Structure 1
Amino acid sequence: MLTMQANGQVRKPTPCGPVPTENQLRWQDMEMYAFIHYSLNTYTDQEWGFGNEDPKLFNPSHLDCKQWASVCKQAGMKGIIFTAKHHCGFCMWPSKYTEYSVKNSPWKDGKGDVVRELADACRAEGLKFAVYLSPWDRNHPEYGRPEYVTYFRNQLRELLTQYGDIFEVWFDGANGGDGWYGGANETRKIDRTTYYQWPETYKMIRELQPNCLIWNDGSDRGDLRWVGTEAGNVGETNWSLLNHDGEVTWPMLHYGLETGDSWVPGETNTSIRPGWFYHDTENEHVKSLSKLMDTYYKSVGRNSTLLLNFPIAPNGRIHPTDSLRGIAFNKMIHEVFKTDLAKKAKINTQGNTTIINFKKPTAINRFVVEENIRYGQRVKKFALEALVDGQWQPLKDELVENGDGLTTIGHRRIICFPTIKATQLRFTVLESRCEPMITRTSVYLAPELTADIPDSGEKRSSGLHYYFSNPKEMMIDWDTEQTITSFRYLPPKNTREGLVTHYTLWASTDWANWTKLAQGEFSNIVNNPIWQTIKFAPTKARVLRLDADRLAEGDRMTFGDIDVINQ
């Protein structure tokens, strides 16, 4: 927003409190990027290695960083942060400062460099690249002593000078404890506020990578903060502010600090699985589509970014279940936000109130609002109301447990509410630190994922996963590519509502290229609602899409059961 002075010159708005740097603005616009956890832990079935694991365990059969980058891009990620060194101290690049690295593994006869391969793969896919370097090292004999800090900085220098542009450096908050420590097998504790001498380390980072952001949750404030949980959510109130000095409490991490003197926005990190590293026992516990969407609304939709982890399996690839779920997640985000219903409405703004007038009663369930954070975060509280059947009714965020949660906005705020048919929507800023600078008010109708799907977000029928990308489009996927010959549909019992009478069936192996398998009518299905079979030539597929071209009644597809027949 620009204003005119009396002399006709354009005047920039006055900043309101702390404001983001250009680096922080670019980072916030990324919105979603991936974590990749991969190390010796992958082969020992651990989350934290002790530091004495044998480097010879690292010998993946099909390590493919191009696959990682391709999956992450298709999942909507704008970059990748890679665990170059986790707490066990094993380096995924051939560091010249230690023997505990891939150079002493059987993989590629010790000539490999995972960091290099991933950095190159990211740039080939147009993704940004970043590194995670654990300050804690359970392998190094000098950890806890001054000599280790020099070692740590030397390794950081390698990562910042040998792999091109780095958009973020991620320093884990786990510091000190028991470890192998070169054979000492003891517990070492450090003063995390002074031991690493962060100011000097930060200075080096900014000199070597001036566009890089620093993630650190300690008393030495970085550019970004942890949000106090790995569950995938930040507070419904979320200020991008903290104080530059002093320790932070959990509420400060989770909600920010309205009176903070520095711009330190929150980054929401979580894994697509229960753990950060791959475990076979978690193959059936990959987050459902509904859970991923809930995470999106509670991170990107609450003035944060989303750092979503994809663990690498022992063969050196992202597991098919994880990749398919991630790609479906991105597809659903695009499905939800593809049509801004406000663009076809008449919008009036007077003072701090904006009214969106629809041409007719319109079904809606999502509201998006954004501030121009370049000049600071301003809004403290707002109201959202809908005119339904001639009566104004307040709308609350259904994802907030207590209260309506209509507080801060920041880069983006998404309000989710039950579907209603409204003729008008009224947005009003109630409290603000300075004059509000609202840059977007958008309205959407999201598919109702929970209508036919249990709380887990998906149903397993005949070993299949399914979800609805819109009310008349069903996606069915499974873990591995198979050759299939027919698809079966059982209509719902005792109802014509949502029963499919005419269909088109599509198949894909990569979610990008689709082959039409069949198109037609389920003859007499209304009068005789039994299993219907669609047969086709043997086809390789990993996912099917069933389009309901016509329904007996209603506007949303339903079914009793589904099945896919393999060759």
Structure 2
Amino acid sequence: MPTRTQQMYADHEIMALIHFNMGTWAGNGDPACNRDNWLGLQGSHNPAVFDPYLLDTDQWAAVFQRLGAKHAVLTAKHGCGFLLWPSKVPLKNVATHQLEPYTYSVGRPGISAIQVDVVKQFVTSMRNAGLGVGFYYSLKNNFLVNMKDHHFENTTTLLPGQILMTKEDYEEMALGHLRELWTNYGELTEHWFDNGYTPSIKDRLQALLEELQPNMIVWRGQGITNNTVAWVGTESGFPAGDDIWSTGCYGKNPGDPNADEWCPKGCDTTLQDRDQWFYMPEEPIRSLEVMVKLYHKTVGRNGVLELDVAVDRSGRIRYDHAQRYQELGDYIKACYGTPLASWKDQKGYLLDFTLSQPMTMDRVMLREDQWQGGQRVRQYAVYVQEVVPSSTVSTSYEQEWTLFSRGHSIGNKRIDVAGDGPSVVATQPVKATKIRIHVEIATDVPWFREIAIFSPCPDTGNVTTSMIPVAVS
């Protein structure tokens, strides 16, 4: 069974995963900083390189609202080690045996180009827009202190500006950073630990989490919180197979129906092509058609779409990026805002519904009541009773049951669309008079939060989006 926090996360369905840090200038990667771009006046070692001269977090929030995202996560610290807030936590330099200010950040007079607390500004804008907030702070990489994949690199070849620390001091500093993030910015919705954490920090991390943010969802938080979310196993936006399960916390896969532990699946992917997370000026973006498909393969298969937002170097979401996010949000609203018919709080293995009149439909949405009953369905079939011309009397009609789709996982939301995927038998819209849901295999009496049918959606080429003024740059 999910925790209340896990159910909230599943209900959010879409969130914005903002990549905005030194990598916006240094290039894509984790860490984006490297030996080729670290040095020089415009090198990534220089805090003044981070200079978003038109920073507009209100614009971000407006775009996220139109997308339909319910919360946003900001890269407060990515692999370079650059901080988007002026931390008071010092670092201990092995070379000098001294505690030194952590000046590789915003908000440092005479050092940083931008003197604002970007994290605070982000939090204020999101909350004013009614959105939840969270942070990405990875423990595995910090190029400033020569940390790579949870290990220090060759300590004899430090670059100018890099600082040598012991592992123990590094972990204490990182915990201090997390204490600031989890204390100074109110209640948080989600935290991202990219690639998890090391065993040496587990107990302290768990205690800090329980003390400061016990109700926060944690990406890759297995072992330190029950409010964990597991990675679906790919960054493509198209998980393997046709089913995502709410259980199963371990392994790079879409879950395990036979596992005991509850872990909703986060499906992280990019708008930019070629798995590019930070803003790349020349990188094309995915088409609306592709974005709609990945929505159906993530949210429509019981996942949560964690969609990257690559803020540009001005500090805004570029016009064409903002437009695509808004087009996707508008498509989802136009397609799924008003069902042809819906039925809520239904229990049973065999459920028949009679429509008020024949209706042309090409998709069905199923939602289990996971908060009340968990994920019970293991195999289901959807049938429709179609209106067809009689073979004997051309002016009369007869009705017959036909299989529309057959699948396995339902969970928080399952969307079956005619002509889309191996589980869907129907290849085109049907004119239905009745709908039948037959649960063929289940661990207990199936409990549906909602069942709904929808008419064919607008073609992706015909989606019209009126851009909100704040999104124009």
TM-score range, shorter chain: 0.7 to 0.9
1:325 maps to 324
1:340–1:444: 8 Å Cα contact kept in structure 2? yes
Deviation string 1:501-541 (CA, Å, 9 cap, x unpaired) is xxxxxxx55289xxxxxxxxxxxxxxxxxxxxxxxxxxxx9
Paired residue for 1:41?
23
1:356/1:107 Cα in 2 relative to 1: closer, same or farther (>3 Å)? Answer: farther
Answer yes or no: is the 8 Å Cα contact 1:365–1:419 preserved in 2.
yes
Secondary structure at 1:224's aligned position in 2? Answer: strand
Structure 2 CA distance for partners of 1:200 and 1:260, relative to 1, 3 Å: farther
Write the letter of the residue equivalent to 2:439. V
Quote the Cα distance in structure 2 between the aligned partners of 1:108 and 1:279.
Answer: 23
Q: Which amino acid aligns with 2:351?
A: T
Letter in 2 for 1:24: Q
Q: Secondary structure at the match of 1:267?
A: strand
The residue aligned with 2:374 is 376
Which of these residues, 74, 99, 107, is aligned with residue 66 of structure 2?
74
Cα distance, 1:77 vs. partner? 1.0
1:136-182 Cα shifts (integer Å, max 9, x gaps) = 21221576422211111111111011111111110111x8xxxxxxx
CA shift for structure 1 position 422: 2.2
1:392/1:41 CA distance change after superposition, 3 Å: same
Which residue does 2:118 correspond to in 1? 114
Q: As a proportion of its length, which structure holds more strand?
A: 1
C-alpha spacing 1:63/1:220, structure 2 compared with 1 (3 Å)? same
2-side partners of 1:156 and 1:349: how far apart? 43
Distance 2:416 2:237 in 1: 17
- Over 3 Å counting, the alpha-carbon distance change for 1:359 and 1:90 in structure 2 is same
Aligned pair count reads 407
- CA distance in 2 between partners of 1:357 and 1:348 (Å): 16
More moved, 45-54 vs 427-436: 45-54
Once the two structures are TM-superposed, the CA of residue 259 in structure 1 deviates from its matched residue by 2.1
Amino acid at match of 1:249: G
Partners of 1:71 and 1:348 in 2: CA distance: 33
Distance 1:332 1:448, change over 3 A: closer
Calculate the TM-score normalised by the size of structure 1.
0.67
Q: Tell me: CA distance 1:362–1:273, structure 2 relative to 1, closer, same or farther (3 Å).
A: same
Counterpart contact for 2:84–2:119, Cα < 8 Å: yes
Query: 2:41 maps to which residue?
Result: none
Listed as ranges, the matches of 1:2-401 within 5 Å are 19-48=1-30, 49-50=32-33, 52=38, 53=44, 54-96=46-88, 97=90, 98-104=102-108, 110-135=114-139, 136-141=141-146, 144=152, 145-173=167-195, 193-195=198-200, 197-216=201-220, 223-234=228-239, 235-242=241-248, 248-250=250-252, 253-254=253-254, 256-274=255-273, 275-282=276-283, 285-343=284-342, 351-374=348-371, 375-388=373-386, 389=388, 390-396=399-405
- Counterpart code for 1:367: V
Residue aligned with 1:27, SS: helix
Matches within 5 A, 1:444-483: 444-449=454-459, 467-469=461-463, 475=464
Residues 102 and 351 (structure 1), Cα distance of their counterparts in 2 relative to 1, 3 Å cut: closer
Instruction: Please state how far the C-alpha of 1:105 moved relative to its aligned partner.
Output: 7.8
SS at 1:281's partner residue? coil
Gapped runs of 5+ residues in structure 2?
A: 39-43, 91-101, 153-166, 389-398, 419-427
State the alpha-carbon separation in 1 of the partners of residues 176 and 112 from structure 2: 25
Instruction: Compare relative contact order (CA 8 Å, sep 6+) and give the higher one, 1 or 2.
Output: 2
Distance in 1 of aligned mates of 2:145 and 2:311: 25
- Cα pair 2:15 2:71 within 8 Å, conserved: yes
The letter for the 2-side match of 1:381 is Q
CA RMSD in angstroms, aligned pairs only? 2.6
Q: Output the CA distance in 2 between the equivalents of 1:89 and 1:349.
A: 50
Cα displacement (A) at 1:200: 2.3
Distance in 1 between residues matched to 2:317 and 2:169, nearest whole Å:
37
Give the aligned residue type for 2:455. Answer: L
Distance 1:45 1:295 in 2: 25
Bigger radius of gyration: 1
- Give the whole-Å Cα distance in 2 for the aligned partners of 1:41 and 1:419: 46
Between the aligned partners of 2:23 and 2:440, the Cα distance in structure 1 is 50
Q: Secondary structure at the match of 1:395?
A: strand
Are the structure 2 counterparts of residues 331 and 277 from structure 1 closer, same or farther at C-alpha, using a change threshold of 3 Å? same
State whether residues 348 and 354 of structure 1, in contact with CA within 8 Å, keep that contact through their aligned partners in structure 2: no
Q: What is the SS of the residue equivalent to 2:367? A: strand
Give, as a single letter, the amino acid of the residue that structure 2 aligns with 1:92.
Answer: L
Structure 1 alignment gaps of length 5 or more? 1-18, 176-191, 397-403, 450-456, 458-466, 470-474, 478-507, 513-540, 543-567
Secondary structure of residue in 2 paired with 1:139: helix
CA distance 1:356–1:272, change in 2 (3 Å)? same
